[in-house]
């Protein structure tokens, strides 16, 4: 009999390309999940995301996750990814402020004269850990290209304290040098993303590897306990010693 997985919180995150660079934000050290770590913008899928998905005629979890990724990126990084037409700078600032104040996304989009372009996001990966932890997230990862006329990214200064645009290879090098921290799923995805020169190459890889939920497991390899993932999903590194793995 297959052991039931513990409950997980639905979440979504957005990998944003600016040429070869990716946007990452540093979580505030006080945050319960991944405090002090570099992550991609994202967060929980809220009931309002499901409600808006239903209004759009697609009352499914995947549509709600795309909406959450767009909403969280607006809130956390101040970037209008997945909006069409692109609102003016002033309209977008009002939109972001209204979201921070708790106004529903559908309402603020209408007031800004824009709507969602969910096809701007490419489904890349889904991770759902099963370790004993206070918070387990079932996270969908999406790829998106930074619009040419997007404003400069700005963190919300609450959950996140800074942001950086860097190549995946540079972020990994900074982590190896002890200058940054990334948790296990982020590291594996950075290693995969480091293989691509740009957004188009990453999209091609995403389409070549249909998404299957990644649930890491532990096993002994060479007498050392490793945290492992499947070897057929496009990830160049599929295990790491437990003593080195950073978990949320």
How many domains, the chain? Answer: 1
- The per-residue pLDDT for 3 is 59
Residue 244 lies in a domain: no
User: In the prediction, which pLDDT does 158 show?
Assistant: 74
Range of the domain at 163: 9-209
Tokens 């996304």 sit on residue: 105
Peptide bond preceding 85: is omega within 30 degrees of 0, i.e. cis?
yes
State the pTM of this model.
0.94
According to DSSP, the residues that pair with 227 across neighbouring strands are 218, 240
Direct distance between the N- and C-terminal alpha carbons of the chain, in angstroms, rounded to an integer: 28
Structural contact between residues 12 and 72, judged by C-beta atoms closer than 8 angstroms: yes
Residue 98 lies in a domain: yes
In-domain check, residue 72: yes
Residues 60 and 62: their CA atoms lie apart, in Å, by 6
Question: Across the chain, which distance is largest between two alpha carbons, in Å?
Answer: 60
CATH code, domain carrying 135:
3.90.79.10
User: Interior CA angle at 129 toward 124 and 130, to 5°?
Assistant: 150
Q: Three-state SS for 68?
A: helix
pLDDT digits (tens, 9 = 90+) for 161-171: 789 999 999 99
Q: Would you state the pLDDT for residue 133?
A: 64
Q: What are phi and psi of 36, to 5 degrees?
A: 80, -5
Is residue 234 in some structural domain? Answer: no
Ranges of the chain whose pLDDT falls below 70: 1-6, 29-35, 132-134, 157, 248
DSSP string, 88-136: PHHHHHHHHHHHHTT--HHHHHHHHT-EE-GGGSEEEEEE---SS-S--
Residue 158, in any domain of the structure:
yes
Does 221 fall in a domain?
Answer: no
Residue 66: the pLDDT is 98
**pLDDT for position 134:** 61
């Amino acid at each position: 009999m297959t052991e039931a997985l513990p409950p997980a919180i639905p979440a979504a995150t957005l990998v944003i390309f600016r040429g070869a660079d990716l946007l990452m934000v540093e979580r505030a050290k006080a945050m319960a999940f991944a405090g002090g770590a570099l992550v991609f913008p994202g967060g929980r899928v809220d009931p309002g995301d499901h409600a808006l998905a239903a209004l759009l005629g697609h009352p499914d979890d995947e549509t709600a996750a795309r909406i959450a990724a767009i909403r969280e990126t607006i809130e956390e990084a101040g970037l209008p990814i997945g909006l069409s037409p692109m609102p003016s700078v002033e309209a977008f600032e009002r939109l972001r402020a209204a979201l921070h104040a708790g106004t529903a996304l559908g309402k603020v989009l209408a007031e800004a004269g824009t709507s969602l372009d969910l096809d701007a996001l490419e489904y890349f990966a889904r991770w759902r850990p099963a370790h004993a932890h206070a918070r387990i997230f079932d996270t969908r990862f999406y790829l998106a290209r930074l619009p040419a006329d997007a404003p400069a990214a700005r963190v919300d200064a609450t959950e996140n304290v800074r942001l950086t645009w860097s190549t995946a290879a540079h972020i990994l090098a900074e982590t190896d040098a002890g200058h940054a921290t990334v948790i296990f799923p982020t590291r594996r995805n950075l290693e995969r993303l480091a293989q691509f020169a740009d957004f188009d190459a990453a999209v091609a890889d995403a389409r070549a590897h249909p998404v299957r939920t990644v649930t890491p497991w532990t096993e002994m390899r060479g007498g050392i306990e490793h945290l492992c993932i499947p070897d057929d999903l496009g990830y160049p590194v599929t295990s790491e010693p437990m003593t080195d793995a950073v978990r949320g």
